[in-house]
Amino acid sequence: MFLIDCGEGTQVQLRKNKLRFSKINHIFISHLHGDHFYGLVGLISTFMLLNRQTDLHVYGPKGIKEIILLQLRYSNSYTGYNLYFHELDSNESETVYEDEKVLVKTIPLKHRIYTNGYLFQEKAKERKLNIEAVENYNIDLAYYRKIKYGGNIELEDGTIIPNSELTFDPEPAKSYAFCSDTMYDESILPIIKNCDVLYHETTFLESEADKAEKTMHTTAKQAAVIAAKANVKQLILGHYSTRYANIELFKEEALAVFPNVLLADDGKIFDFE
């Protein structure tokens, strides 16, 4: 489980939604404005109280390590687990995490302070065995792995069976881009192009476009333009200014530009299986 940003309400929401704290091993922080990381030292402390043993990795802007360690030092606190900081200061997209299933890359954003979004990209999956075909040809189990990775098979009589006869296409690899906070910025388009789900901040409506520009945030319309230009499948909006009583207005404004819009809200779960 990946946690992206950690505002002061994060622990409350994790408990409310019955998410297991122990499953969080990687935390990605976009930038050092309070509403995006003031919950981090609290969460790290809670992990200590829960007697966590597993390593914890924190990815975020340069300075985050100093801030957290200073707080721990002055409260005379020590973690019983290994706490690793991966500090970022590049303005180019870079891979910050990789395992056998997924890659995480930064999405450099334009905000009042140094900020990154994060792209979570599933790796291409193995091809699916066509068991019936494989058994018909009497292919030995030892070759299954080769077939799943796209290999052809040569039978004893020299006949080549092409992989397309032995497998089905795998489930397409999915991708999720998280972009908050940022002003309208087309330079992110090549990084998020064709991704399945884009979360994009929309702090303001177009009627407050001047405020969006001044505070380096985005309007709902601008987020929708980014989604359309990047050809993503689904846009999720969030990070609404509290000045708006009705968040449906964000959806309405974005829908005029892009057809697939969902509104993020506390505790809401999106399932794209």
Q: Which residues bind Zn ion (CB under 5 A)?
A: 33, 181
The residue annotated as part of the active site, out of 35, 55, 210, 271, is 35
* Spatial distance between the Cα atoms of 249 and 152, rounded to a whole number of angstroms: 54
Residue closer to Zn ion (CB basis): 181 or 253: 181
- What size, in residues, is the chain? 273
Q: How far is CA 30 from CA 51, 97, 133, in A?
A: 27, 15, 48
Q: What is the largest CA-CA distance in the chain?
A: 75
- For Zn ion, the closer of residues 47 and 199 by Cβ is 199
Return the number of the residue (5 or 181) whose C-beta is nearest Zn ion: 181
Cα–Cα distance between 34 and 90 in angstroms, integer? 21
CB of 242 to Zn ion, least distance (A): 14
Considering the complex, what minimum distance in angstroms separates the CB of residue 217 from Zn ion? 8
**Nearest-approach distance from CB 169 to Zn ion, in angstroms:** 41
Q: Residue 210 is encoded by which pair of tokens? A: 């001047």
CB of 43 to Zn ion, least distance (A): 19
35 noted as active-site residue? yes
Nearer to Zn ion, 33 or 251 (CB): 33
Toward Zn ion, which CB reaches closer, 33 or 174? Answer: 33
Angle, in degrees to the nearest 10, between helices 64-74 and 40-49: 50
Q: Report in angstroms how near the CB of residue 142 gets to Zn ion at its nearest.
A: 55
Closer CB to Zn ion, 93 or 115, in the complex:
115
Query: Could you give the residue ranges of the DSSP H alpha helices within the chain?
Result: 10-16, 34-37, 40-49, 64-74, 131-136, 144-148, 163-166, 189-192, 209-215, 220-229, 248-255
Task: Output the residue with the shortest Cβ distance to Zn ion.
Answer: 33
Residue 211: CB minimum distance to Zn ion, A: 14
d(CA 244, CA 223): 17
Which among 255, 253, 225, 251 has a CA at the least distance from the CA of 238? 251
**Distance from the first to the final alpha carbon of the chain:** 16
Query: How far is residue 36 from each of residues 106, 181, 268, measured CA to CA in Å?
Result: 16, 9, 18
User: Which tokens sit at 97?
Assistant: 């995490």
Catalytic residue positions?
Answer: 35
